[in-house]
Structure 1
Amino acid sequence: MVTIYDIAEATGYSAPTVSKALNGLGSLSEKTRQKILDKATELGYEPNITARTLTTKKSNLIGVIYDDTGMNKGFSHPLFSPILTSFRDKVEAAGYDIIFLSRHFNMSYFSHANFRCIDGMIIINPATNNPADFDDFIKAKLPRVSTNSIFKDICTVITENEQGGFTAGEYFIKHGHKKIAYISAPVDGISSAPTERYEGFKTALKLHNLFDEELYEVCSSWDKQSAYEAFGRLIKRRKDITAVFTTSDQLAFGVYDYAHDHNIRIPEDISVIGFDDDFASEYVGLTTFIQNSTEIGNIAAQMMLDQIDGKTVPETIRCKAELIERRSVKTIKGFRLF
């Protein structure tokens, strides 16, 4: 195995100088650094990550928390997957690798992070409904960023959910709807999206004196079967609703399934708006919101790199979601758009 001492002998530089060049440290000239890197490649040098970590106290690893909590989407989630891709591209360009953190083998996320000696951590989607599981991360000085859940003292890059909810409410109202329902994903204390979208939606309806608390239903999970059941409870309780806004497209698909099974037409009988622009949304004609996942991932990566460099970062950064108009919202007959 080629060592830094072999490279030092071949180039005429000292071992500490070679180490600085290989680890991107020190104030070496570009010519010197490149000469050492070229010789390392020529000799077939492969870095000893464990030794480098012990020496520099850096692993060049960013931990990723990304679990599927009942969504049954895995790495195909329309928001989380692109966030991960853009985040990975940016941190890899800066010289970091990513490693997934799990809660398996009786290890907490925090224990796994310590075991891997990570330099930073991104929370994309955790497999827990208990915010206390992150108390250790909140107290630690480890660079951290979140892209779906809001934690005190952890930089969060997230969608403007309230604005999205407000826009959905206004959109229905502008199309003449007055009995407008909201089907929420679980309010579990981790993801803020269900509550924030509802708050924006509620604000829009209250401005027009149309808010009715009875037209609110919460799903037991994030999957479409839970939404199927929630919409069933809602429609049996209030047969006068003409429109429904759902926390996510998966929940909207549950509404579609129930409508199909009970001869309810979309949008003729019920208008629907979702959130996420899932892959199937275009094919069913669902009006929905697309979140700027690439921007979220890029900003999250920059916030991570800034923290690693010792810079102060904002506590929360919001990115706008865009309404995609398709065929799932009907204009009430006799109503004139304003």
Structure 2
Amino acid sequence: MNLNTLSLVNYKNFENQIFDFDTKINCFVGANGIGKTNALDAIYHLAFGKSYFNPIALQNIKHGEEFFVIDGRFTKNEREEKIVVSLKRGQKKVIKRNSKAYEKFSEHIGFIPLVIISPADRDLIIEGSDTRRKFIDSVISQSDKSYLSALIAYNKILSQRNALLKYFALNSTFNSDNLEVYNDQLATYGAEIFKKRDDFLKTFIPIFLQRYNAISLSGESINLTYKSDLFNAELSSLLDQNLSKDRALQYTSVGIHKDDLVFLIDGFPIKKFGSQGQQKSFLIALKLAQFDFIKQQSGVSPILLLDDIFDKLDENRVAQIISLVDDEHFGQIFISDTHGERTENIVKQIHQSYKIFKL
């Protein structure tokens, strides 16, 4: 999978810009605020139909303009592919593949396998369980369309059940038959999602541990554990057991929408007991394991975006990461960094062709 050309019109701070890329390594260098991360985010946008950094779509339009267009020309399995994402104020976002618009954005997910490693990933450690669930869902969805469909259906039914619980409370009424319709559907989709998450993590965690050990030279013990209500009972039973609680809270308090990933170092939460370097290594290992898993599932090397990852890492850890990507296992890599000279010294060690874009 290669991105050959990227064309940006009114995207964030870019008015009109075209990039022609190397098939291996591409580096965006320049001062903070110049647009390095925005260029990477545009590539992410082509893969996922949304920004990695700003979920409010209209805020990705350049100030004072009415629209943005991101145009990417790819080569996948020796075929040319054109992906265009566009948004005009007052209209819905449009994603086109080879000039044909998708009816559902979910149909596009997974077509361009991509992994981003960014300082923003720290949210996986410091934010709530929702952020970690989204990580799991993003990885599985890139290679499993039925999982994504089940997840969309589950979230829709969950929203409807929550609305019904609020209606009951506001109108001092209750109808168990109406609620049971939603319970049955949640239980069906929830069981499917739980099983796929559990199976995924049984495969993923050993890959992650291997990646972390390759990056970190300090020998600390780290782990990931999957936490879910469904390890204790089937969702239908849990919904029945928690009915009084749900009616009082006016929302659904149990289910796969409460699942979490627990990040541990030497048996303790890495959020509290991991150093900044350990946390960064943990997150990089997590994302490289994501890369390995997607490649294993799809047979295609994902595009790898490295946003400012050499900041706050000591030279040993940087050297380890470089030695890992100096390998035919990886395909096309995009790097952003504030220090052009540092970047060039790093990429020279990789023994691959490269281009540097000074912004």
Q: Bigger radius of gyration, 1 or 2? A: 1
TM-score (norm 1): 0.24
* Higher relative strand content: 2
